[in-house]
Amino acid sequence: MLNLIFYFQVHQPYRLRNYNALEINKNHDYFNHTLNKEVMDKVATKCYIPTNNLMLKLIEQCKGEFKISYSITGTAIEQFKAYRPDVLDTFKRLADTGCVEFIGETYYHSLALLYDTNEFLEQVEMHRDLMRREFGYHTTTFRNTELIYQDRLSDLIHEIEGFNTILTEGADRILNWRSPLFAYKNYSGVISLLLKYYQLSDDIAFRFSNRGWAEYPLTVTKFVNWVEQLSLAEQKGRSLFLNLFMDYETFGEHQWEETGIFKFMEKLPEYILKNPHLGFAQPSDAFQLANYQQETLAFPEPVSWADAERDLSAWLENDMQNNAIDAYFELLAKIKQSNRFDLLDEARKLSTSDHFYYMSTKYFQDGDVHKYFSPYDSPDQAYIYYINALADLEERL
């Protein structure tokens, strides 16, 4: 059996406004509310609402055979509540179907794992509480920000009661000759790992509408045909997992409706389920379904799902990014030491990885993607406003 596991990332950051140095100590509002509302409105209309409705319809049609999973950040949920509560309602309806798994992560979509273990654990706990509160869901699968994973993460997640699976990138440099279709164990053998099958995931997420791509246009028949070829690798009745991980905004936002992305998704479950060797599963099913000795995989260095390098360089490459994040975690520690919990929420909104992504100066292939996703004219500006905000926050101590 080959199980398709869909996991969709739902995230919106709090974008900073052009926060000038002369405003330090005068104006403590760092965020661009107008822009954040505008983006939320746009993405809700183009993506969240129509895609959620489609998923609801598919789940109903397939009578429990079609399963999906979501990771929704705390900053996204807060902005749903502020600007588009209707989006949160449709996610709640999805939760009620029982065919949807919610995945744990850091509340603020942060890089805390790499800098401050206690902060990381606190943000994981906050997110878990949020999932319980909003969807009545107890998370057992974990994904770290941008699928960043290394051995140390599995140690930390294993310590938290109830988590048994982690999602990450099927990076070539870790897998070598191995297939991402198997379920693996972390280096110490205590946590299950599901690895993104990046070719097929990115065929949908990035290449779907690319007319320069040899396989354009991607039809459902073609895609299912590729999936069926994969299932030939299935041997001795072992359960395989095709992990299709992507941004939820792929639907209607990165790939516009005109590209046919919704029609593609609408037909996919039916075509998959026609084949008795194919089916859908949730990440938490893998723990039981894996009917073989799972091999352990060591990740001594961090991997992620971003850019061609699949490492941390999208957020932590140049001096601006490194200085900004060092300054941030130094300040966060100070805020906690001085018991200024009133400042903690604002401070944590600045921990979101997007702020560092905007400072990226990778100007070649991936730089285009960075520019597309950045609200600023240049990485320099993103850096200047961020540092100014940190300077003001420190003055408030």
Partner 1 sequence: MKILMFSWEFPPLIAGGLAMACYGMVKALLELGVEIDLVLPTKEMVYFPLKKVEDADTLPVVFLDPVRQKEYDEFFTTKTASTTESVSTILERLEFIGATFSPETYISGSELKTWSHIFEKVSTIKYEHTRTEERVWENIKEYLIGDEDIFKKVQELTIRAEKYAQVLDFDVIHAHDWLTYPAGMLVKKLTQKPLVSHIHATEFDRAGGAGDERIHKLEYEGMTYADLVICVSKYTANMIISRYNIDPGKIRIVHNAYDVDDLSGLQKERIFKGPTIIFLGRITLQKGPDYFIELAGQVLKTHPEARFIIAGSGDMGRRILYRSAYLKLKNKLVFTGFLNRKDVEKILNSVDIYIMPSVSEPFGIAPLEAMAYGVTTIISKQSGVSEVVQNAYKVDFWDISKMVEIVNYLIENPEDCKAMGERGRLEVQNIGWTEASEKILKTYQEAFQIYDSQTH
For partner 1, the binding residue among 124, 320, 335, 347 (CB under 8 A) is: 320
- Binding of residue 29 to partner 1 (CB under 8 A): no
Near partner 1 by CB under 8 A: residue from 292, 323, 345, 368: 323
> Which residues are the active-site residues?
146
- Binding to partner 1 by residue 111, rule CB under 8 A? no
The region of 85-93, 210-218, 295-303, 316-324 touching partner 1 under the rule CB under 8 A is 316-324
- Does position 191 bind partner 1 by CB under 8 A? no
Q: Count interface residues toward partner 1 (CB under 8 A).
A: 24
Rounded CA-CA distance 208/45 in Å is 21
Residue 70 Cβ vs partner 1, minimum distance, rounded to whole Å: 35
Cα angle 40, 46, 47; round to 5: 80
The secondary element (H helix, E strand) that includes residue 67 is none
Least distance from partner 1 to the Cβ atom of residue 320, Å: 4
Nearest-approach distance from CB 296 to partner 1, in angstroms: 38
In this structure, the strands spanning 192-196 and 184-185 are: antiparallel
Give the integer Cα–Cα distance in Å for 89 and 95.
10
> Residue 95 or residue 331: which is nearer to partner 1 going by CB?
331
- Nearest partner of 248 among 59, 87, 36, 33, judged by Cα: 87
307 phi-psi bin (left φ>0, alpha ψ -120 to 50, beta other): left
Stretch that binds partner 1, among 15-23, 68-76, 131-139, 176-184 (CB under 8 A): 15-23
Between 286 and 332, whose beta carbon lies closer to partner 1?
332
Least Å distance, CB 126 to partner 1, is 25
24 binds partner 1 (CB under 8 A): yes
Distance of CA 202 to the CA centre of its chain: 14
State the helix-helix crossing angle for 261-274 and 220-231, rounded to 10 degrees. 40
Residues 6+ apart with CB under 8 A from 344: 335, 336
Residue 43 or 387 with smaller CB distance to partner 1 = 387
Binder of partner 1 out of 96, 330, 345, 368 (CB under 8 A): 330
DSSP state of 250: G
Binding to partner 1 in span 361-380, by CB under 8 A: 380
Residue 383 touches partner 1, criterion: CB under 8 A: yes
How many CB atoms are located within 10 Å of the residue 110 CB? 31
Asked whether position 72 contacts partner 1 by CB under 8 A, the answer is no
Task: Give the E-state strand segments of the chain in sequence order.
Answer: 2-10, 68-72, 100-102, 141-143, 165-169, 184-185, 192-196, 240-247, 278-280
Among the listed residues 55, 148, 331, 343, the single contact to partner 1 using CB under 8 A? 331
- Told to check if 387 binds partner 1 by CB under 8 A, we report yes
Give least dist CB 394 to partner 1, A: 6
Cβ neighbors of 210 (< 8 A, separation 6 or more) are 216
Interacting residue with partner 1 among 1, 273, 369, 391 (CB under 8 A): 391
Q: Is 314 helix (H, G, I), strand (E, B) or coil?
A: coil
DSSP string, 127-167: HHHHHHHHH-----EEE-GGG-B-HHHHHHHHHSTT--EEE
Min CB(23)–partner 1 separation in Å? 9
Q: Which is nearer to partner 1, 23 or 65 (CB)?
A: 23
Per CB under 8 A, the list member of 56, 327, 333, 344 interacting with partner 1 is 327
153 counts as binding partner 1 under rule CB under 8 A: no
Residues 352/13, Cβ–Cβ less than 8 Å: yes
Cβ-based nearer residue to partner 1, 115 or 208: 115
Among 292, 293, 305, residue whose Cα is nearest residue 353:
305
- Taking the complex as a whole, the smallest distance from the CB of residue 388 to partner 1 amounts, in Å, to 5
Binding residues for partner 1, per CB under 8 A? 20-22, 24-25, 318-320, 322-324, 326-327, 330-331, 380, 383-384, 387-388, 390-391, 394-395
